[in-house]
Each structure stands twice: as C-alpha cells, then as structure tokens.
Amino acid sequence: MKWETVIGLEVHVELNTKTKIFCSCTTAFGGSPNSHCCPICTGQPGTLPKLNEKVLESAVKTGIALGCRINKHNRFDRKNYFYPDLPKAYQISQLYLPFAQDGCVEITTRLGKKKAIRIHEIHMEEDAGKLVHSPFGDVTYPDWNRCGVPLLEIVSEPDFHSGEEVSAYLEKLKSVLTYLGVSDCKMEEGSMRADVNLSVRPAGTEEYGVRTEMKNLNSLKSIERAIDYESSRQIESLEEGKAIVQETRRWDENRGKTYAMRSKENAQDYRYFPEPDIPPISISEEMIRELTQAQPEMADAKKARYMEEYGLTETTAGLIAESKHFAKLYEEVVGLGADSTETANWLGGHLRYLMGQKGLTPEGISIRAHGFAKFIGLITQGRLGRNMAKGILEKMLEAEPDFDVEAYIKKEGLELVCDSTQIEKAVAEVLEKYEQLAFDYLAGDEKLYGFFIGQCMERLKGKANPATVNQLVKKALGEIEKRTEGR
C-alpha cells in the first residue's frame, strides 16, 4: 500500500522586545537561573499583568506580512498548565479569539517546487521556563527566566507532506520575521522552535490518520530527521496491524528516533477560560493601516527587483534576498561601486559555501560592506586571481571586521602583475625560447597553446592576470604568424 504523510506545524517565535509580555523583566537570553523574574511573571498572588504594547505591534505586523485577517477584537485566555516550568500553573494565551487568522505563504522547496501553505491562526502567548536536569543524580532544577517572554504561535493547516516542505516553510517564516525585525529566529537559542503534528493515511484518501506531536524541535536538520523517522514508524506500525496512539513524542537526536512522553492533551484538558486579569484587546483600523504602510520590502520583492535591476539569475537573487543581512550587505557593497553581478556571485556562491562549512549564519559573519567592496574591486581590476580570492575570502571570514584585504595581499605578495609591459616581456621570452614549438602551434598543433600559457605564468610566478596573459600570448602568436607569411 502507498502511504501519504500529513503534517501540520505549530511554530513558536520569541519576539525581540526588551521586556516580557506582561511585566518589565528583561527578555535577554541567558543570565543566572531565576534572575530575570518578578512577582508578575511568576504569578504571585495579588499581581496584575499588563500587555506590552510593543508585543501587540509586532504581532499585528507579523499577521499582515503573512497575509492574515487581523481580528480587531480579540482577547486572552487562561490555559491551566500543571508543569513545573510554569510556576503559576497556568499560561496566558489566546484560544477562542486570536488576533490573526486565515493567512497564506508561498514556499519553494530545494527542488524548486512551489506550494501555498495556509495559516490557520496566529496568537500571542507567554513562554514557559525550562527544566535543567542534573547529570549527577535524579534531580531537576527549574529556571524561570524565560517565563513571560512574549511568543507568537503560528499554527498552519495540515498542508505539508514531507520534511523538505516543512524546512522550506520554516525558512520562509524566518525570512519574513527577520525582515520585519520582530525576532532574531535563532533556533539554537530557542527563539524559534516547532511542534510537528504528523499522521499517515493511505494515499488518495481524505480522512486523517491518528496524529502524534513532536515538541520543541529547534533545528531544520532535526525536524527533517524526526519527520522521516516518525512517518516510517507509523507506516510500519499500521502495516503490522498496530494502532497509532495519539500522544506527545520526544525526538532523541543522538538515537535518531522518537519516543513517547505523555498522552496528547486536548483543549478540554487545559480547562481554558477567559483571562480575568487582562481586558479584551481592540486593534484600530488606523493601527492596521499604519503598520501595513510601514511594511518593509520583503525577500520576494527584493528577489524580483535584483533580477530586473541587476540582471541576476532567479537562483542567485533568491540566495541573496532570503536573508535580510545578506541583502543589506549586497546593496551596501553595490552602492559603494562594486560590480553587481560579481558581488552577487561571491555572496551567493563561495561565501555561502564557507559559511556552511563553518556553521555560520549571515548575521554571524564579521565581513563589512567596505571591505567586501574592496575585495570585489581587486578581482574585477585583475589584481587578485579568482582561485587565490577563495583563500582570501576565508581569511576575511575569520578576521576582524576592519581587516584590510588590499594591505594583506600586498604584504603577502599575492597581488597579480597588472603591468602589461612586464607580461609582454615574459611572453616574448617564452616564445623566443620555444620558437619551434610556436611554429608547430601555427601549423595546427593547438595543444601547445596551454603550454605557452603555463610557461608564461611560471615565469611570472603565478602572479599575472590570466586574462591578460591569454590576450598577449594570442597577440604575440599572431605577430609571429604574420612575419612567417611575409617571408
């Protein structure tokens, strides 16, 4: 039997406001355990939460960018949540009246497949803390610093059928959210994480299978591996005649498998009711209009503009535009006079390759526009060979932001010879030394041409511009041919 995997996502995104959603505690990552807490975010008796206006603004911006309908009237609900990572034993969220619904984004997979993904809703809520398990004994310590950090939960429809589609969607969300400036989306720090709801069904049927949920996956690689494993596990179980249990499962990265944590809760298990301490929220038409008008140029629009304005290919334009940091660097470098195509090819090509090798993100690189523009200029001026430039670029990636590439290649003797007089002299010496071979070439032995180029480059210690050498060798051979014909 052929099976189809059906996936829906709940993506949690930490907003980058300076303070928490309902109090003035800092949202800074890290810090000593339980040092970013107060009576409000730990739910002490007698305290009253107050909604952070910046959270609401960031939320509405996101809803607009993801094509959602903004609900002008919405409210918070109390979700009773009896776990030690939430000290007040409930979470303030939005179940019945979320602020945004019915969105849609278009994704493009690694294989170039385009697909529309529907967004069921986006709601605001507060984050929980975390539990630190001691390696020295059966002891767990709660760290409540993260309690109250503002979250958006972006809930998709079950429109995915593979890990590849899920990765493309998460990359798209990351691009939108970072362009908006509402989150850094650092999955390694937990500021973007996904819960994966997955079921399988016979291909061609409409009825959904029993789903499991995998919680808080925080890397694209882990998410794809977890989806592949869980899909295979469910198919294998069904083919053996076993029933799938609706449950929450945990992904073990080291073992490469999921295992059951607890039975899956439903809404009634959380005993939701309207949050009594926070009044309903009204979002004005004026606010929606102002935030819509203030939306930045997003990745898709930049990609189209780069293709039209700079003549970039769709692939190269997409590689640059998908990252706000990359796009900013590209535009600044080109604005300093660097060749637009050359800049795009190095940014979207070897630099991205090096970043992948070193596990770097666009936001984590130290290269600045001025230095990169100088690097591109040295290449286009013929002062830096392309093969040598790859090593220089790696050096730039590892160096401090003020690294002077021009001073470095001069100091290391890496600058190419651009003086045509020097190159002409070397070409003349080579063709004089191998005069008979030059006649053989002119007689039809074309393989000798590469030999002449190699001899010239050797004489110039590999520091000549290959294009100039090629041009002058052709010119010199042509002059020999003319002299021969005139005899």
pLDDT of residue 266: 65
Reported residue count of the chain is 487
Question: pLDDT tens, 392-405?
Answer: 999 999 888 888 99
Tokens of 118: 């529907």
Outline where 240-364 has alpha helix (H).
Answer: 267-270, 285-293, 299-310, 314-321, 324-335, 340-346, 352-358
Beginning with the edge strand found earlier in the chain, give each strand of the sheet holding 90-93 in spatial order: 90-93, 77-80, 273-274
DSSP 187-224: GGGTSEEEEEEEEEEETT--S----EEEEEE-SHHHHH
User: How much is the pTM?
Assistant: 0.84
Mapped onto helix, strand or coil, the DSSP state of residue 73 is strand
Closest listed residue to residue 377, CA positions, set 399, 351, 417, 346: 346
8 A C-beta contact, residue 56 and residue 93? no
Q: Among candidates 246, 166, 238, 230, which has minimal Cα distance to 205? A: 238
What residue ranges of the chain have pLDDT lower than 70?
264-268, 417-419, 485-487
* Calpha distance 34→30 (Å, rounded): 10
Whether 346 contacts 396, CB under 8 Å: no
User: What is the pLDDT at residue 484?
Assistant: 73
Give the pLDDT of residue 68: 98
